[in-house]
Amino acid sequence: MARFGMVIDTKKCVGCMDCVVACKTENDVPDGHCRDWISQRLQGEMPDLRLTITSERCNHCESPPCVTCCPTGASHVQDFGKVVLVDHDKCIGCKACLAACPYGARFIHPDGYADKCTFCMHRVERGLAPACVDVCPTRCMHFGDLDDPESEVSRLIATRRHFVLKPDAGTRPRIFYLE
């Protein structure tokens, strides 16, 4: 059984926001909302400064607090790819999942339900990559099966130094950033 994850090379990402635009277009994300976004972290002290650009979205965590807190089971882990999804028809809009996510990856869709990145499952099921991965002009984003040791994502994690966001939150994210 596949377990999808993403690897993003921060050495190649230039923060062009093509991934953000592609996601909005592909998933018809409503105006004023976004399922993915760009963050820039400036660390250090002058003159030793380091800028890290990250393309961020739902981390499809191994231990997703948004799933355990959901009172209706609308937030769930799909069998195919172990991807965290929201069943819109079960969601009551209580916003517990928004409060439970340490990454701020969810928002309330204007129609009332919780919404977020789906790893473009409608594309992946047809053998395509997520829209953000597909359009990236620097090819910094990689998508694949973390359980397959031969997949590109597994090999990159095995061979390159990497980090995840907010590791101390204990959610075990499945998006890895190469340093």
Partner 1 sequence: MIELLTTRHNPLVDPTLHVWEWQIPVYLFLGGWVAGSMVLTGYLQRQARAPGQPSVSDRLPWIGLVLISLGMGALFLDLEHKLYVWRMYLTLQPLSPMSWGGWILLLVYPVLALGALATLADGWLDRWPALAAFARQLKSHTATRWLSLANIVVGIALGIYTGILLSSLGARPLWASAVLGPLFLVSGLSAGAAFAHVIAPGHDEQEQLIRFDNLFLMTELGLIALFLIGHLTVGAVHAQSAQLLLGGPFTAVFWVLVVGLGILLPLAIQSLMVAGRIPHTVIAPLLVLLGGLALRFVIVYAGQYSEWISP
Long-range own/partner contacts, residues 34-40 (CB < 8 A, 24 or more apart):
34/107, 35/105, 35/115, 35/116, 35/117, 35/118, 36/117, 36/132, 40/15
- Cβ at position 27, least distance to partner 1 in Å: 14
Q: How far is the CB of 63 from partner 1 (least distance, A)?
A: 10
At its nearest, how many Å lie between partner 1 and the CB of residue 49? 9
d(CA 7, CA 141): 6
Q: Which is nearer to partner 1, 109 or 155 (CB)?
A: 109
Interaction site with partner 1 (CB under 8 A): 17, 20, 32-34, 37-45, 56, 65, 68-74, 89-96, 98-102, 104, 106-108, 111-113, 165-170
**What is the C-alpha separation between 169 and 141, in angstroms, rounded?**
24
Bridge-partner residues for 54, per DSSP?
39
Judged by beta carbon, residue 46 or residue 158, the one nearer partner 1 is 46
User: C-alpha dihedral over 104, 110, 112, 116, to 10 degrees?
Assistant: -40
Dihedral (Cα; 163, 167, 173, 174), 10-degree rounding: 20
Contact 142, 8 (CB under 8 A): yes
Q: How far is the CB of 113 from partner 1 (least distance, A)?
A: 5
Find the shortest distance in angstroms from Cβ 42 to partner 1: 4
104 vs 122 by CB, closer to partner 1: 104
Residue nearer to partner 1 on the CB measure, 3 or 109: 109
Taking the least distance from each CB to partner 1, the nearer of 72 and 138 is 72
Determine the Cα angle at 144 with ends 122 and 23, to 5°.
45
